[in-house]
Structure 1
């Protein structure tokens, strides 16, 4: 069955839950996990998992869950995935770390779009589900919030080095989210009365001494001015060492960074640039769109007004070698860039995206690029000008001087390919997509 993946609608934000808890399993894991499944089934409603995954995918049911659990369980751990085939998209994972006396439970939920949680009743049920889990398992820490805003907050590091984060964990309240559960140790370090008196939509003490705090009735309006004021006020209440105006200013800057930016890319490279934003973290995406909107590629310089005469003894043999070089590129990349076999302008855009996404110029050895990849790419690019634009090869002994005549100009595809593969930035500045479009304009 075809499950929806979050990346398929990657322009939309995600409501992300992370929850860590502990429970005993002396009566058996099946008995211990019953409250987890019961709350999920009772409160998830219109984002209820439709598919459960172990070694293979099955339609969700209790029996299917336990089959998946048994398939993925070993002596010390188990992991089960939950998904949907219909909107909203769901990517959910339950991971257990089994120890003799107790079990550590991690739950991750991502529901897309995040705007799905703009209804009060839907959010109320979500909170009830988390409360039920937290009442059954000793929750150490939990949060639910916009994935984009969480990224901007640098969760879970909050500006710390990875080593410090691993050592200290959530030793203080670095940030507040839409839904928060503070474990007993953190509550005691802040002060139980202080936490319970936090100005928020909901503050509730849980059975194990943790405290559930929900800032607003709905999760979707986290970036509104009203929500940011409430977030700042609650954070400063819990952290009197912080300055309200400074906290609020930082939150509003995050809101501004998430305001949608309409793409308006340079037309010569728009087919290529339009694919890039989704490759960035969702919290950075609008900033990247704005940067790409402002990007103006340099005009191609790899052309001559008059052709250099061919200086090879056997043009046919040289053209055969170009064809062999091009075939090498197709053979090397046809599984990663399937359209390369079709030899269309779209194939060049697919190559642009592949080389950029792989960061090819900086990940692979320079000697390999200069001696193999660049010549093969130049031959493929030149062959495209011949096949699609009616160009004519003018071979030269020096590869980078070899030309393709299109109309009144002659183009230097090998030179373009070498410059193109110099760096990740040069993949933008010297894209294959732009080179073809500029050559196309000079076709007779």
Structure 2
């Protein structure tokens, strides 16, 4: 699959439609395992196909020809396997230069060398999720990019001395809205975060992962963001209150409310506004990182 993806046998046209890269029946690539059909046999010649150098060349009962270039698939990227692959293609395509073909195959092998993930711990679950949705052939390069990625340090906080004063006396003002807004959030998440009503740090990570998958589908514009900011902000604030001993500083304008922890006040609604602005923002301003920063700074 990795070799096939790197060869790019199909691509998107200008109209966005996926179509074959080549419009003819010529043999443009040879892989570890190949089956040549009637048109290709007629084009190249059965005798030439059956004489191709390879580990296994066999005429199949239906008239097609099977070619395996190297004994084992596991080392398809080894130099010996690449040489065998190049020789087979040049045999079938005498118009190609061996050195050019082997050079291209060796470049593919280099691009497939595995890269060990060393992701920033605050966003590791999100980047692992992203890697799983990257084509196999692109994972080493993308893993290297993610290893170098560092999310912006959370800036949605103020010294406690700079906090806005509370102008809502009812201590249950936020809790009274909490369940309703959590239901709104649950619906927005396709009811896919089972821990959403547990209000834990793990819940935040699960929300991050779900929104990372669906935010481009669900955030149609400013109206959607405005609708979801209160729900995400209240939920994030409640996680701080419940798990870090935070205290709400309530404001008549809900989105001005803050959570005091130690000598800082945290601004969950400001974070939510940034977080919901784009798919990349879900990583740059993740709820998980915000929580972990508050946890580190709570003393």
TM over 0.5: yes
Counterpart of 1:404 in 2: which secondary structure? strand
Match of 1:232 in 2: 86
In terms of fraction of residues, the more strand-rich structure is: 1
Q: Aligned partners of 1:374, 1:249: CA distance in 2, in Å?
A: 52
Match of 2:165 in 1: 309
Cα 1:163–1:365 shift into 2, 3 Å: closer
The 5 Å alignment of 1:43-442 reads 147-155=1-9, 157=10, 159=11, 161=13, 164-165=19-20, 168=23, 171-305=25-159, 306-312=162-168, 316-330=172-186, 332-333=188-189, 335-358=191-214, 360-361=215-216, 363-442=218-297
Higher RCO (Cα < 8 Å, 6 or more apart): 2
Q: CA deviation at 1:208?
A: 4.2
Do 2:225 and 2:277's aligned partners in 1 also have CA atoms closer than 8 Å? no
Cα 1:177–1:339 shift into 2, 3 Å: same
Cα 1:269–1:246 shift into 2, 3 Å: same
- Give the aligned CA root-mean-square deviation in angstroms: 2.4
Match of 1:101 in 2: none
Q: CA deviation at 1:367?
A: 4.1
Counterpart of 1:200 in 2: which secondary structure? coil
**Structure 1: gaps of 5 or more residues:** 1-146
Q: Aligned partners of 1:396, 1:266: CA distance in 2, in Å?
A: 35
Q: CA deviation at 1:334?
A: 7.2
Match of 1:32 in 2: none
Q: Is the deviation greater in 286-295 or in 429-438?
A: 286-295
Q: CA deviation at 1:178?
A: 1.5
Deviations 1:293-349 (A, max 9, x none): 111000011111121112347564355234532343235547311121221111111
Deviations 1:265-307 (A, max 9, x none): 1122223323332222222222222111111000011111121
Counterpart of 2:20 in 1: which secondary structure? helix
Q: CA deviation at 1:390?
A: 0.6
Q: Aligned partners of 2:62, 2:125: CA distance in 1, in Å?
A: 55
Q: Aligned partners of 1:160, 1:443: CA distance in 2, in Å?
A: 50
Q: CA deviation at 1:374?
A: 2.1
Do 1:184 and 1:208's aligned partners in 2 also have CA atoms closer than 8 Å? no
Q: Aligned partners of 1:152, 1:299: CA distance in 2, in Å?
A: 36
Do 2:120 and 2:149's aligned partners in 1 also have CA atoms closer than 8 Å? yes
In terms of fraction of residues, the more helix-rich structure is: 2
Do 1:369 and 1:421's aligned partners in 2 also have CA atoms closer than 8 Å? no
Cα 1:316–1:230 shift into 2, 3 Å: same
Cα 1:266–1:183 shift into 2, 3 Å: same
Q: CA deviation at 1:195?
A: 2.0
Deviations 1:82-135 (A, max 9, x none): xxxxxxxxxxxxxxxxxxxxxxxxxxxxxxxxxxxxxxxxxxxxxxxxxxxxxx
Cα 1:381–1:238 shift into 2, 3 Å: same
Q: CA deviation at 1:263?
A: 1.1
**Structure 2: gaps of 5 or more residues:** none
Cα 1:249–1:440 shift into 2, 3 Å: same
Match of 1:74 in 2: none
Cα 1:270–1:280 shift into 2, 3 Å: same
Do 1:310 and 1:394's aligned partners in 2 also have CA atoms closer than 8 Å? yes
Deviations 1:165-218 (A, max 9, x none): 3994x7121211122111122111123333222221222333444222110111
Q: Is the deviation greater in 348-357 or in 281-290?
A: 281-290
Cα 1:221–1:324 shift into 2, 3 Å: same
TM norm structure 2: 0.88
Do 2:189 and 2:210's aligned partners in 1 also have CA atoms closer than 8 Å? no
